[in-house]
């Protein structure tokens, strides 16, 4: 009797039922679309962040370079005393591997071990970001005037742990040819190349790449593999084992060498819930360090991606909630109105001996059925909306980072030379927004549909339950 009565009653007021279901469908569809879009934006932000310092890295630890620590930026030409003026026509070529241009200070490698031993840290790895500055040319004209024809070239070098595993920038790169670092490569002159750099310089596994050192000489590194960074990443051009980078790199002024030094530590927490506490522990361990979480970095993301995220999270969310509340209210009001029109019917049923709860159950059953129909339509609308978002959303831009400026290289290298090799850490990446509809989002939709039905049914049922049979039947004469 329950299902027969329910079916027939919904058929009798099919227009009202469709109207209510459509209202619920709109609200639920909007919630699904906005949630899917927000998930897509979050994924895009994750892509941007992962591209910066690798999948699996939750925290990065850096220090700011001390003032005046830029350098050494001077090297000799033609040997002899540093202040000897070279003769006209002297050709020189120097390749300096320096940490100064990265604008980062250094910390001891022992800090990596200390951080690894902190509670809730699942992995930690250090890296040394360096820049290979090549200056070459021929001394021409009067030595006093200092005229010369100088060519400069630079590429970025990252000294990475050969066993860094799931943290660090290499963790998000894909090996496209050759092999990656092995444990036995720790002290070897082997290098991985970024795919773009390799293509530009026509290098492949088996080739060699020259990397400078602190004295201006070069060391040949054998290319063992090529890695492709994820879209939007700005990886180093050349990756060499950390120990080799520490041995070769020129220490900043005031430091003896880069041995056992790193300037970036990548840390993975055991769970997302522990990131905050790990961040605090690292800050206590290294008070002078800058400890940045993915969340902190996410806050630094600017550009249209950030605006889209804000739109999805704020306006989109509240719009969806407002529409859903309106749909629930409408469903409740219409259900109560339908109950009011059926006063005589319910009064008769009570006269026949039907208990209030059976009548309330009938009303709620009808409402839940409408809610489920609305929910199913809402899921369809949500899928369509999400597909539309993914199809028509313009490419978003995300900008992260800040321009260098804290280190002051100083030294005799001319400003024009220095300017050509200075680096900026501002990254602007383009990402395509998707709007994935996940199982959890569909479950949310079903929950909302049932909740909507129950809520409207509760209002209507409450009204039906309060009817006294005599009042429900009205004046009979």
Partner 1 sequence: MYRLTGVTKNYRTGRGVVAALRGVDLVIADGEWLAIQGPTGHGKSTLLQLLGGLDQPSSGSIELGHHDLAAMRETQLTQVRARLIGFIFQTFNLMPTLSAQENVETALVPLGVPAAERRARAARALETVGLSERARHLPSELSGGQQQRVAIARALVKDPAVLLADEPTGNLDEGTRDEITGLLEQLWRERGLTLVIVTHDSAVARRAQSTRILAEGRLSAGRSPARCDPGI
Per CB under 8 A, which region of 2-10, 52-60, 88-96, 283-291 contacts partner 1?
2-10
Per CB under 8 A, which region of 80-88, 343-351, 418-426, 433-441 contacts partner 1?
343-351
Q: Does 355 bind partner 1 (CB under 8 A)?
A: yes
Q: What is d(CA 301, CA 428) in angstroms, rounded to the nearest whole number? A: 9
Element at 59 (helix H, strand E): strand 59-62
CB of 470 to partner 1, least distance (A): 4
Residue 274: φ, ψ to 5°? -95, -5
Please provide the DSSP assignment of 401-413 as one string.
--B--S----SSS
> Which CB atom, from 395 or from 470, has the smaller least distance to partner 1?
470
Q: Does 352 bind partner 1 (CB under 8 A)?
A: yes
Q: Does 475 bind partner 1 (CB under 8 A)?
A: yes
Q: Does 287 bind partner 1 (CB under 8 A)?
A: no
Q: What is d(CA 346, CA 362) in angstroms, rounded to the nearest whole number? A: 10
Q: Side-chain half-sphere of 470: how many Cα atoms within 13 Å?
A: 1
| Distances, alpha carbon 59 to alpha carbons 283, 294, 338, 434, in Å | 11, 6, 58, 26
Per CB under 8 A, which region of 179-187, 314-322, 329-337, 349-357 contacts partner 1?
349-357
Q: Does 388 bind partner 1 (CB under 8 A)?
A: no
Q: What is d(CA 297, CA 402) in angstroms, rounded to the nearest whole number? A: 12
Q: What is d(CA 347, CA 337) in angstroms, rounded to the nearest whole number? A: 16
Residues 6+ apart with CB under 8 A from 245: 97, 128, 130, 157, 158, 159, 258
Q: Does 185 bind partner 1 (CB under 8 A)?
A: no
Q: Does 473 bind partner 1 (CB under 8 A)?
A: yes
- Single residue of 280, 358, 414, 466 touching partner 1 by CB under 8 A: 358
Q: Does 15 bind partner 1 (CB under 8 A)?
A: no
Q: What is d(CA 210, CA 134) in angstroms, rounded to the nearest whole number? A: 10
CB of 366 to partner 1, least distance (A): 11
- Single residue of 81, 273, 392, 476 touching partner 1 by CB under 8 A: 476
Q: Does 5 bind partner 1 (CB under 8 A)?
A: yes
> Which CB atom, from 67 or from 477, has the smaller least distance to partner 1?
477
Residues that bind partner 1 (CB under 8 A): 1, 4-5, 8-9, 11-12, 344-345, 348-356, 358, 468-470, 473, 475-477
């Amino acid at each position: 009797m329950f299902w027969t009565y329910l079916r027939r009653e919904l058929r009798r007021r099919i227009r009202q039922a469709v109207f209510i279901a459509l209202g619920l469908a709109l609200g639920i569809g909007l919630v699904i679309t906005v949630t899917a879009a927000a998930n897509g934006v979050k994924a895009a932000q994750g892509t941007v962040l992962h591209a910066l310092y690798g999948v699996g890295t939750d925290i990065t630890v850096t220090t700011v370079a001390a003032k005046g620590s830029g350098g050494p930026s001077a090297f000799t030409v033609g040997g002899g005393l540093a202040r000897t003026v070279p003769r006209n026509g002297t050709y020189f070529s120097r390749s300096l591997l320096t940490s100064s241009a990265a604008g980062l200070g250094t910390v001891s490698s022992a800090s990596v071990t200390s951080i690894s031993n902190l509670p809730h840290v699942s992995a930690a790895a250090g890296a040394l970001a360096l820049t290979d500055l090549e200056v070459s040319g021929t001394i021409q004209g009067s030595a006093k005037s200092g005229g010369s024809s100088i060519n400069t070239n630079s590429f970025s070098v990252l000294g990475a742990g050969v066993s860094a595993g799931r943290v660090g920038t290499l963790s998000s790169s894909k090996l496209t040819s050759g092999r990656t670092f092995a444990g036995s490569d720790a002290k070897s002159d082997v290098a991985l190349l970024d795919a773009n750099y390799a293509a530009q310089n026509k290098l492949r596994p088996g080739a060699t790449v020259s990397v400078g050192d602190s004295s201006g000489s070069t060391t040949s590194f054998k290319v063992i593999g090529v890695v492709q960074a994820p879209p939007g990443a700005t990886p180093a051009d050349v990756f060499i084992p950390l120990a080799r980078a520490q041995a070769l790199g020129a220490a900043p002024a005031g430091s003896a060498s880069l041995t056992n030094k790193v300037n970036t530590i990548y840390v993975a927490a055991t769970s997302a819930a522990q990131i905050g506490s790990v961040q605090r522990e690292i800050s206590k361990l290294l008070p002078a360090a800058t400890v940045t979480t993915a969340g902190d970095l996410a806050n630094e993301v600017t550009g249209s991606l950030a605006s889209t995220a804000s739109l999805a999270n704020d306006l989109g969310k509240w719009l969806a909630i407002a529409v859903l509340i309106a749909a629930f209210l409408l469903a409740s009001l219409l259900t109560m109105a339908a109950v009011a029109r059926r006063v005589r019917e319910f009064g008769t049923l009570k006269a026949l001996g039907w208990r209030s709860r059976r009548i309330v159950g009938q009303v709620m059953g009808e409402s839940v059925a409408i809610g489920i129909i609305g929910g199913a339509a809402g899921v369809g609308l949500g899928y369509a909306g999400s597909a539309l978002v993914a199809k028509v959303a313009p490419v978003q831009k995300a900008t992260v980072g800040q321009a260098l400026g804290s280190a002051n290289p100083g030294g005799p290298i001319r400003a024009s030379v220095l300017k050509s090799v200075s680096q900026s850490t501002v990254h602007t990446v383009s990402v395509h927004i998707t709007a994935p509809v996940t199982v959890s989002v569909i479950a949310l939709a079903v929950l909302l549909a049932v909740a909507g039905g129950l809520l409207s049914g509760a209002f209507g049922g409450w009204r039906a339950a309060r009817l006294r049979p005599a009042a429900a039947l009205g004046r009979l004469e």
